[in-house]
Structure 1
Amino acid sequence: MLRAAWSARLAARRSPRACPRSAFSTSLRVRKDEQTRPERPIRNPEDAHKDKFNYNPELLFTEEPNPEQVRYPAVTANDLDSRDTPPTEVRMLVRDFIEDSLYNPNYGYFPRQAVILDPPDAGFDFPSLRNVASFEKKVTEKYISYGYDTSGPGRQIWHTPTELFKPWYGHAIAKCLVSEYLLKYFPYEDFVIYEIGAGNGTLACNVLDYIRNNHPDVYDRTRYNIVEISGRMVEVQKERLCESHPCVTVNHQSVFHWTKREPAPCFFIAMEVIDNFAHDLIRYDLRTLEPYQGWVTIDHNGDFGMHYTRVSDPLISSFLDVRRRLKHPLPIRPVLQKYSALRRAYASMPLAPNLSQEEYIPTRLLSLLLALRNYFPRHRLLLSDFHSLPDTIPGYNAPVVQTRFRNTTVPCTTLLVKQGYFDIFFPTDFERLRDMYELVLSEPHGPSQASGTDDGRALPHAPNASSLSLGSDFFSSYYPKDRRTPVDGVVSASGLPVGEHKSSVFTHAEFLQTYADLSKTRLRTGENPMLEYYQNVKVLF
């Protein structure tokens, strides 16, 4: 049973109210038998105080959304940061509902419930283990050491490859970063690293230990910056890292609120983080293909509802514009997209939906890319996460919603669950992510670069910076399509502007075969769990 609890995360990790095509759009047409069903019974006042852990409402479909819920004030996750309990009589975009559920400082899943599995300090002794079954037994024993939960959602224990394969996984990350640094920047620039969502600080510790032991001259020039949203994790990271590695700085804030510009070359790490980035929910009117944004409503009893309006949120609009420019297809059958008459005929059929299937779009991931462009203009991104997941809820690019109940992982079928008790995590289409990342980085930087220079900062060995007007077109009218436009004011030793190769996508095994010392995690049978596990993970670098 415990094995199922951690293997579900390893393998991985609603019936909305309907209305006609108007400002608040519909999900399904009304059936005659549903029109005659009795109304939902009023909740017994004596039960109003009782807590609810999983919401699977059987809502009646109506021709109009509940006017009371539509009039609720719109709030954001930031507005709810100071609350001690989940709100009522409000509405919010789906991404704000997810962010509030996962990250609210007082009742969110990560600050209050989540526990990261922490194997022995030295890690597992892989060469002494006979086979994968022996390794899984060791992991199960570690889960058992946290104790049994006898009632209610218990401690939400989950793990990452960083923890399962420490320190060797962290050493592979360190080798990747150091090789790039030595090739491009040493000894002219400091080795600057940023990591978001550092958890227990295990990856940072393993990376820095490797650099200190194998590259002391690089370690002397290392600056390691952690950006962490969880106050509890901030204290753990400071205690674990700051004394043994004085080069570490822990910043207690969300990366989405970052405002300090880093002009130096740097490496930006996001490992097993973006799966928990909030997404928005959109659906398309099948007659016009107009997108509608989803809102979660919470009534005075704490019950959830859903309604849709025409897209007005700037971040959703920005994502849809980026996708249109990249020519990524909509999650609608091509034949329906092509023929409007066929869409009208389809929408006129009995019981046919007038909105498309739910689609979850990675708006917070776009926020991260914009922050990288504006505040880390000379970064190199190393990012890893799930590219596919089992047991997702209905919808295109939908998340897994799950909790740990009495020592067993329980997947849910709806997003509308009690805030703080459920993990909500999404798969990522890495090929689309790469396209979006390259497009965002190819655009002009933020207001701080209105002058057209990168703070006037050039590499020390190239004091005379040439303008982009000469730049890449001075010697040739051709610029390779597999490189980004050079950062203005940055030139190479030969006088030619520096253009970074576009990012590549690797499977988890491909990345580790390049950088990891696989002998350290090989079992006696020759199996290697660090390669064989997490086959649904990819790496962008």
Structure 2
Amino acid sequence: MLHAARALVQRAAARTSYSLSASFATTSTRCAAKGKKSEKQGDIINFNDQYSFTDAPDPEHVNYKRVTANDLEHEREPPRRVKMLVRDFIEDSLYNPNYGYFSKQATIFTAAEPIDFPSMRNMTHFEAEVAERYASYGVDGDGPGKQIWHTPTELLKPWYGRALARCLVSEYLLKFFPYEDFVIYEIGAGNGTLALDVLDYLQEDYPDVYERTRYNIIEISENLANLQRQKLQSAHPCVTVHNKSIFRWDVREPAPCYFVAMEVIDNFAHDMIRYDLRTLEPYQGLVTVDAKGNFSTYYTKVVDPLISSFLGLRRYLNHPPPIPRLLKLSSTFRTFYTNLPFAPNLSPPEFIPTRLLTLLRTLRRHFPRHRLLLSDFSSLPDTIQGVNAPVVQTRYQNTTVPCTTLLVKQGYFDIFFPTDFEKLCDMYEHILEQPLPLAEVERERARLTPLSMTASPLAEGNSFFSSYHPKNRRSPVDGVPSSSGLPVGERKSAVYTHAEFMKTYADLNKTRLKSGENPMLDTYENVKFLF
């Protein structure tokens, strides 16, 4: 489906269930066929689908080595006899340089020529055209197929990228031109198509801005980083590609900048927690891999600092945990409920975006004057069981196969999550309000630009004219007054649906079909923007 998941199939086609080939299905894989078991020797099902402390892994797991995704970066094959947090299992599965999904399996759908939207009769014709272009990648053989997925950047090029460019340049012209350079950072730039479309638009329509543009790409994949350099740097010398994880970024950008993340955070690793239904105490989930490669999960009290930090922030922001109201209100009812025959003693799994929290802290620390433009899925079909659970899927014989468990062979499956944008906005704004360390504040004050109208911090005098501070504005940043000269602070971010954002910034005439339908508005209905 166009707005359902990454792999696009025609709407009329029914999704078929398959039992995956034993060559790449792990011993704990349940995919699509709800746990059909291969007849091959040793291909057993070991998926923990009960909500109980008694579902223990291999007793030898206490002797397994505790590892992180960083520890596994140099491994050539998925490890055995190890245990790790769920976020490390996901991160290793997706990003390991030697066997990760994005390193070895994923292929981004790229149309050689943009689709001629005005020539399309209707959405059915448009979808048939996209399906035909997908077919050009060839027929899958046995085992895992070509892991092809599309993005709106590729499907709607160049008009999608130009809409984002129009959004960014309008903000830049209003606030900083001509006193500051137009600095853009993009993470997860894929094939570089978005950067190309943005820069082509600036070069054609805003040559004065283009001359002051610095476009930085932060890309974890070495293969994609090389592709981006080949595609972009000859046409646009203002591009710099940094082959580095954003989670290891350590360079401070003191200038105003725009930070772009399009369909990136859905693949950020999450942690899994469950609550003891007797005490409502959270427990962190860990994955074990035994000597045969079988997966299991088990739970311990939360001791991981990042998980603890996220849960503390959630309490501060009054985002309640996903526990039924009656259980939260009454310890007597909890005791009665958990003593019922066959009653679970753990809540269903909840997946919490701990890596997203790390990103927001990185932005606060290393990009103190950034403006974030972010877009991703707000909901997804075919998710596995749990709260805020991901879609786990692969392609098999040219068909997208959704799975019912996270515990699948590393590297062969896409794992992507929906995002609660309203909660993300709360968390993001709260983190931006946190004060920087004093030494960093002093460095900010030392940076003088034509926009700095005083040597003293504007924040110190922000109530000189009025004690009122609008709720939709952040606290003022030193040296950045408004156009009126009053330090009223930056406008806070807001959440938009995909259609709302495109109605504001896209040239909709360029993507309108003969029927009047518009793929720019009618697709990606489960996508939102934060800006």
TM-score after normalising by structure 2: 0.90
**Residue 335 of structure 2: aligned partner:** 344
In structure 2, give the amino acid aligned to 1:222: T
Counterpart-to-counterpart distance in 2, 1:201 and 1:446: 35
**Residue 516 of structure 2: aligned partner:** 526
1:5–1:409 contact (8 Å) kept in structure 2: no
**Residue 87 of structure 1: aligned partner:** 79
| CA deviation string 1:417-476 (max 9, x = no partner) | 000000000000000000000011111125752x55525224313242332562322222
Q: 1:494 deviation in Å?
A: 4.9
* 1:128 paired to 2:119: yes
* 1:102 paired to 2:103: no
- Equivalent residues in 2 for 1:137-216, closer than 5 Å: 137-216=128-207
**Cα pair distance change 1:475/1:91, threshold 3 Å:** same
- Equivalent residues in 2 for 1:385-464, closer than 5 Å: 385-446=376-437, 448-449=439-440, 451=441, 454=444, 456-464=446-454
* 1:6 paired to 2:3: no
**Cα pair distance change 1:173/1:59, threshold 3 Å:** closer
**Residue 365 of structure 2: aligned partner:** 374
Counterpart-to-counterpart distance in 2, 1:57 and 1:157: 27
- Equivalent residues in 2 for 1:268-307, closer than 5 Å: 268-307=259-298
2:10–2:128 contact (8 Å) kept in structure 1: no
User: What is the aligned-residue RMSD (CA, Å)?
Assistant: 2.4
Q: 1:64 deviation in Å?
A: 5.4
**Cα pair distance change 1:426/1:484, threshold 3 Å:** same
**Residue 26 of structure 1: aligned partner:** none
In structure 2, give the amino acid aligned to 1:97: F
Q: 1:289 deviation in Å?
A: 0.9
Counterpart-to-counterpart distance in 1, 2:282 and 2:153: 39
**Residue 482 of structure 1: aligned partner:** 472
Q: 1:495 deviation in Å?
A: 4.3
- Equivalent residues in 2 for 1:65-76, closer than 5 Å: 65-76=57-68
* 1:466 paired to 2:456: yes
Alignment partner of 1:112: what SS? helix
| CA deviation string 1:8-67 (max 9, x = no partner) | 6999xxxxxxxxxxxxxxxxxxxxxxxxxxxxxxx99x967xxx7x96647898475543
In structure 2, give the amino acid aligned to 1:516: A
**Cα pair distance change 1:478/1:398, threshold 3 Å:** same
Moved over 6 A (4+): 1-5, 8-11, 58-61
Q: 1:7 deviation in Å?
A: 2.8
Q: 1:338 deviation in Å?
A: 1.1
Counterpart-to-counterpart distance in 2, 1:500 and 1:57: 48
Counterpart-to-counterpart distance in 2, 1:109 and 1:268: 25
- Equivalent residues in 2 for 1:314-353, closer than 5 Å: 314-353=305-344
In structure 1, give the amino acid aligned to 2:487: P
2:85–2:285 contact (8 Å) kept in structure 1: yes
1:430–1:540 contact (8 Å) kept in structure 2: yes
* 1:310 paired to 2:301: yes
* 1:222 paired to 2:191: no
**Residue 512 of structure 1: aligned partner:** 502
In structure 2, give the amino acid aligned to 1:208: L
In structure 2, give the amino acid aligned to 1:456: A
**Residue 257 of structure 1: aligned partner:** 248
| CA deviation string 1:391-421 (max 9, x = no partner) | 0000000000000001000000000000000
1:113–1:421 contact (8 Å) kept in structure 2: yes
**Cα pair distance change 1:58/1:436, threshold 3 Å:** closer
Range with greater deviation from structure 2 (129-138 or 153-162): 129-138
| CA deviation string 1:205-237 (max 9, x = no partner) | 000000000000000000000000011101110
In structure 1, give the amino acid aligned to 2:128: K
**Cα pair distance change 1:374/1:137, threshold 3 Å:** same
1:458–1:491 contact (8 Å) kept in structure 2: no
2:94–2:410 contact (8 Å) kept in structure 1: yes
* 1:499 paired to 2:489: yes
**Cα pair distance change 1:372/1:349, threshold 3 Å:** same
Q: 1:192 deviation in Å?
A: 0.1
Counterpart-to-counterpart distance in 1, 2:447 and 2:288: 49
Counterpart-to-counterpart distance in 1, 2:299 and 2:423: 26
Counterpart-to-counterpart distance in 1, 2:185 and 2:64: 40
Counterpart-to-counterpart distance in 2, 1:9 and 1:355: 40
1:228–1:254 contact (8 Å) kept in structure 2: yes
**Residue 17 of structure 2: aligned partner:** none
Q: 1:341 deviation in Å?
A: 1.3
Q: Aligned pair count?
A: 503
**Cα pair distance change 1:315/1:446, threshold 3 Å:** farther
**Cα pair distance change 1:540/1:342, threshold 3 Å:** same
In structure 2, give the amino acid aligned to 1:136: E
**Cα pair distance change 1:486/1:141, threshold 3 Å:** same
Counterpart-to-counterpart distance in 2, 1:447 and 1:100: 36
| CA deviation string 1:114-165 (max 9, x = no partner) | 00000123x0001111111111111111111111012000110000110000
Alignment partner of 1:462: what SS? coil
**Cα pair distance change 1:250/1:469, threshold 3 Å:** closer
1:456–1:489 contact (8 Å) kept in structure 2: no
1:275–1:428 contact (8 Å) kept in structure 2: yes
Alignment partner of 1:80: what SS? coil
Range with greater deviation from structure 2 (62-71 or 474-483): 62-71
TM-score after normalising by structure 1: 0.89
For structure 1, the residue ranges without an aligned partner over 5 or more in a row are 12-42
Counterpart-to-counterpart distance in 2, 1:414 and 1:461: 53
Alignment partner of 1:192: what SS? strand
1:401–1:414 contact (8 Å) kept in structure 2: yes
